Amino acid sequence: MIPLDWYLILAAALFALGLFGVLARKNAVAILMGVELMLNAVNINLLAFWRYRAPDQPVGMAFAVIVFAVAAAEVAVGLALFIAVYRRFNSVAADEINLLKW
């Protein structure tokens, strides 16, 4: 069988890549893609712990379902915001959206 720490280390690597994407990319849509990678890493962790610790209880799966719902809501609102920002600034580069900067 696959040891549990293989899943956790893979999820950690996926999380680190998502973190890099969020911090380093300029395009706001790419930043949202990084957030998606991080949420997926979290979901791998939740389901791996569910399978290896308590597969007879639905707790781990319930957490994963909530993460799915939150991810869908976050993407819908985020992308709508980017479309609105694009209409106003003609750009989705995160360093050019500086209306609140003085």
Residues 13-72 that bind another protein (CB under 8 A): 13-21, 23-27, 29-30, 32-34, 36-37, 40, 43-44, 47-48, 50-59, 61-62, 64-66, 68-72
Question: Cβ contacts of residue 83 below 8 Å, gap of 6+?
Answer: none
Any contact of residue 8 with another protein (CB under 8 A)? yes
Q: Which amino acid is at 6?
A: W
By the rule CB under 8 A, 1 interacts with another protein = yes
The minimum distance between CB 21 and another protein, in angstroms, equals 3
Q: How many CB atoms lie within 10 A of CB 28?
A: 21
Q: Cβ neighbours of residue 42 under 8 Å, at least 6 residues apart?
A: 11, 15, 67
Q: Residue 95, interface with another protein (CB under 8 A)? A: yes
